[in-house]
Structure 1
Amino acid sequence: MSKFKALAAVVPAAALVGWIGYTFWEAYQPQPERMQGQIEAQQYNVSSKVPGRIEQVLVRKGDKVERGDLIFTLLSPELDAKLEQAKAGQEAAGAMAAQAEKGARSQEIAAARDQWQKAKAASALMGKTYQRVDNLYKDGVVAEQKRDEAYTQWQAARYTERAAYQMFEMAKEGARDETKRAAIEKARMAAGAVAEVEAYAADTQIESWHDGEVTQILLHEGELAPQGFPVVSVVDMNDAWAVFHVREDKLKKYNQGAEFKVRIPALGELKYSFKVSHVAVMGDFATWRTTDPAQGFDMRTFEVEARPTQPIDGLRVGMSVIVE
């Protein structure tokens, strides 16, 4: 009986000593470290390269959009007016090019020919007149001055005839090759101006360039949208990643390509696999965490990006990511 009493006294004492020993052992074990990051995703701003008044916004927050979906439209009467001006300039340049290519009209050629014939007839008349005056001068009837005047008038009529003939030939030949080429290039320039304005006008119908979810609508119908100002923001959660700030003494565990498990509290207790996709090449001071004085130097942190190895349902921007 005494043996049982002694055993009953020893067992609790041994249990107490064991519990105290285990407690001391556990207290001196290194505590697991916890690192917190957050989810980020690629964000796109949908804007227009031309200013205008927003005519209609066709999406709402939370809508899923795909590349090519119409997001919003702009109303810009100024662009319509510029397009009309550009088209009128194109028509005028085209007409000038056609005129240069076709050359003078038949009536203009006929008129130039008639001017040449007129000058030719006058030159012939002045030549005969000079011959008569020259004969009279030789007979001593007229003075030498009269003969010189007749000769000068004859020469002038000959020059006039030649000039009229050159004008007639030029009318038949049409515009110079350089003039034709210049007119064609002006027509091309006018066509380019029309294409430019048409491109701006087409940009009043703004489509999404990416798949994603609408997160913000910054301007609404009737408001003025400046050039390049974001009207709708789209986030692509299929292009999401986690961002951590890792102390340099722990950085060797997070080389590019390394995989590790994380917990996302917003999604429950499940753990997800992430893979390091980028490590910043430049570090920063860890101002948010006390540096261990025993290290003897200031710790820096490096930004590390890691992407999920598999798509995660329910993932949202800003969710906390815990690594233990």
Structure 2
Amino acid sequence: MLESKTKKEKTIIGVAAVFLIIGIAGGGWWWYHSAQLVNTDDARITGTIVSVSPKIPGRISEVLVKEGAQVKAGQVLAKMDARDTLVQRKQAEAALSVAKANYDQMIAGSRPQEIEQASAIVEQAQAGVEQARASLTNAEKNYERMVTLYAEGAISASQRDSAEAAYLMAKEGMNATRQATHGASQKLSLTVAGSREEAIRAAAGQVKQAEAALEATNLANEYMNIVSPVEGIIALKG
């Protein structure tokens, strides 16, 4: 019968292990029959039956208890093969590193070349504003002079109207260059600030997902040890 026991324990290695533990405390009767014992008579034991099995799929690498053994709460009953879990944890750690690097790059902002280019566009727009301001000043003065000359009868109405049209056009040109400068300044601000807020939020979300994946692998690694939740006696394993 001892040979049978050794053979059965070997077959347990590499497959799933399920333990039935009869709690020392508690009520109720449970009948069981053990083929591992020399005495094959049924035995009757008092206690609460607790089934213990792996929390995650995997292979059992080592069984640490035998049938009939008394165990304490928290005692390790068996160990699972943790090689796959360790590989998954390394992969999760690598994915988290990549996600954090991407997020840090977005937070750091744009490259110096991009900022320099945006600054040059702002300078050009500001120069355009100065030119438009000078044109507007000249057109306004000319229009005022034409209004005076028309009042004196020195010029015709069409000459006055032409001066007025030139003044209005210069005014519109001034507004257009101001808007262009405002747009260029906004673009420069965004470039200096770095990536858009939406992209930064997305990168932060990827970091959180990678952290959750790593946490899951760490939890799976904790489940590599199958422990007894109660104090009791091993009634069946297999």
* Match for residue 51 of structure 2 among 45, 64, 84: 45
Go from structure 1 to structure 2 and tell me whether the alpha carbon gap of 1:194 and 1:178 turns closer, same or farther (over 3 Å shift).
same
* Match for residue 199 of structure 1 among 205, 209, 219: 219
Q: Deviation per CA, 1:176-206: give whole Å up to 9, x if none.
A: 9999789667645642342123202331332
Instruction: State whether residues 71 and 208 of structure 1, in contact with CA within 8 Å, keep that contact through their aligned partners in structure 2.
Output: no
Instruction: State whether residues 82 and 221 of structure 2, in contact with CA within 8 Å, keep that contact through their aligned partners in structure 1.
Output: no
Q: Percent identity?
A: 23
* Match for residue 108 of structure 1 among 106, 110, 114: 114
Instruction: State whether residues 62 and 215 of structure 1, in contact with CA within 8 Å, keep that contact through their aligned partners in structure 2.
Output: yes
* Match for residue 75 of structure 2 among 68, 86, 93: 68
* Match for residue 182 of structure 2 among 158, 162, 177: 162
Q: Deviation per CA, 1:43-98: give whole Å up to 9, x if none.
A: 4322122233x243424434555543351415795x67865664455334423542
- Cα displacement (A) at 1:156: 0.7
Go from structure 1 to structure 2 and tell me whether the alpha carbon gap of 1:85 and 1:151 turns closer, same or farther (over 3 Å shift).
farther
Aligned ranges 1:248-263 → 2 under 5 Å: none
Match status 1:153 vs 2:173:
yes
- Give distance in 1, aligned partners of 2:165 and 2:90: 68
Instruction: State whether residues 76 and 225 of structure 2, in contact with CA within 8 Å, keep that contact through their aligned partners in structure 1.
Output: no
Residues matched between the structures, number: 180
Task: Report SS of the residue matched to 1:206.
Answer: strand
- Give distance in 2, aligned partners of 1:107 and 1:202: 49
- Cα displacement (A) at 1:121: 1.2
- Give distance in 1, aligned partners of 2:123 and 2:115: 12
* Match for residue 120 of structure 1 among 103, 123, 126: 126
Partner of 2:63: 58
- Give distance in 2, aligned partners of 1:119 and 1:82: 54
Unaligned runs of 5+ in 2: 1-28, 30-43, 147-158
Task: Report SS of the residue matched to 1:50.
Answer: coil
Greater RCO, CA 8 A, separation 6+: 2
Instruction: State whether residues 97 and 180 of structure 1, in contact with CA within 8 Å, keep that contact through their aligned partners in structure 2.
Output: yes
Aligned AA for 1:160? A
- TM-score, normalised relative to structure 1: 0.42
Aligned ranges 1:19-30 → 2 under 5 Å: none
Partner of 2:16: none
- Give distance in 2, aligned partners of 1:39 and 1:122: 97
Instruction: State whether residues 113 and 168 of structure 1, in contact with CA within 8 Å, keep that contact through their aligned partners in structure 2.
Output: yes
Unaligned runs of 5+ in 1: 1-36, 219-324
Instruction: State whether residues 56 and 72 of structure 1, in contact with CA within 8 Å, keep that contact through their aligned partners in structure 2.
Output: yes
Instruction: State whether residues 100 and 180 of structure 1, in contact with CA within 8 Å, keep that contact through their aligned partners in structure 2.
Output: yes
Which of the pair is proportionally richer in helix?
2
- Give distance in 2, aligned partners of 1:122 and 1:82: 59
- Give distance in 2, aligned partners of 1:175 and 1:42: 61
Instruction: State whether residues 55 and 75 of structure 1, in contact with CA within 8 Å, keep that contact through their aligned partners in structure 2.
Output: no
- Give distance in 2, aligned partners of 1:128 and 1:111: 26
- Give distance in 2, aligned partners of 1:118 and 1:198: 56
Q: Deviation per CA, 1:230-250: give whole Å up to 9, x if none.
A: xxxxxxxxxxxxxxxxxxxxx
Q: Deviation per CA, 1:288-318: give whole Å up to 9, x if none.
A: xxxxxxxxxxxxxxxxxxxxxxxxxxxxxxx
Instruction: State whether residues 60 and 80 of structure 2, in contact with CA within 8 Å, keep that contact through their aligned partners in structure 1.
Output: yes
Q: Deviation per CA, 1:7-32: give whole Å up to 9, x if none.
A: xxxxxxxxxxxxxxxxxxxxxxxxxx
- Give distance in 1, aligned partners of 2:192 and 2:82: 52
Larger radius of gyration: 1
Which of the pair is proportionally richer in strand?
1
